[in-house]
Amino acid sequence: MKARHHLLSLLVAATLLCTAFSSSADVVLPSADSKFVSVKEINPTRDAGFVVGDKLQRTMILTVKQPYELIKESLPIVGYEHRYRGQVSGIELTAIDVEEQRHGEQSVYTIHLEYQVFKVGRVAKPAILRGEIVKLRQQGSKAVKQFRMPSFNFRTSPLSVYGEVNLKNEMSPFVAPLKLQANKEQLALKIAAGVLAASLLALLYVLGARTWLPHMGGAFAKAYRKVSKLPEDEQGLQQAISTVHEALHQVAGHSVFGNGVEKFVLEKPAFAVAKPEIERFFALSRQVFFDAQTPLDLGMPSKQWLKKFCRHMRDCERGLRPEVHA
């Protein structure tokens, strides 16, 4: 009998404890004076036609003036289910982001809220984003006050029509037709188009032979075009070598000979990477004009190698780094 009485006492105590906690959570604090706090709300652009799963974004710009300050722990918590008259509202806060800025004697809190609809009905029904309550503390005092932000009323719609409906009679002139939002896709398309345009310009800059962009009309770019047009015979090769000599002289600002390659790359460090090929070019020039008996292995026909050399030198004058093999 004593054990039964003890168990009954524990149940009564637990009930009283839960009641106490519930009461403390529902305590209504004094409201903050409106001259110290104000709010500007940015609501969804429409207030009807939401179905289960849809998300609503709100932005509340809360301005708090001294001596009050916002108790950030009182901001709404993600996942908290609001209740209306004891019933779960079916609207859940799924995300919150807060930005704080201080301007003199006031603080501005930009609160981004995202709600999701988790209820569905057979007919369109009114719903509400409850006015969130935040708490304010007065500096130098333990007194706490509350501020209720405005609520937002909207209507939810069923996923499908219930029963037989005359569509003509159900169409409301007050509800605009729903439109698909393609803002994200349009932004992604613009970014992709920008990346594609930049890539095409980069390819044009690297591979282009004409003077379409700045720094594309250098001496070796012109030499490359001229060498490409010369005939594939001994006379054409001599003219091609003379053309490259002229380009070297133009870039250096003075005559460049075989024993002056070291000085040339010191004066023009952008061409240092092509030093082995410059030395090989002078060897080719010496063989073609003065010493045809000296063997020279270029790995390919002389005219073809000369075009490749001009392309590498053209890359150097454009600030690029060609892949040159010693």
133 forms beta bridges with 148
In order of 60, 62, 108, 141, 175, the CA distances from 38 in angstroms are 10, 6, 10, 21, 31
pLDDT at 245: 93
Q: At 5, which amino acid appears?
A: H
φ/ψ of 242, rounded to 5, equals -65, -40
Residue type, 103: H
What is the enclosing helix (H) or strand (E) of 240? helix 234-252
- Is the pTM for the entire model greater than 0.75? no
Joined together, the tokens standing for residue 82 give: 């609001």
CA angle, residues 306, 212, 276, in degrees to nearest 5:
25
Neighbours of 103 (CB within 10 A): 8
| pLDDT given for residue 193 in this prediction | 94
* 106 contacts 39 by C-beta, under 8 angstroms: no
Cβ(147)–Cβ(37) below 8 Å: yes
Helices 302-317 & 234-252 angle (0-180, nearest 10): 20
> From the CB of residue 181, how many other CB atoms can be counted at a distance below 10 Å?
8
Residues of the chain with pLDDT under 50: 1-3, 7-8, 10-25
Q: Exposed (0-12), middle (13-18) or buried (19+): which is 235, by Cβ within 10 Å?
A: exposed
> What was the pLDDT predicted at 9?
52
The confidence score (pLDDT) of residue 210 equals 67
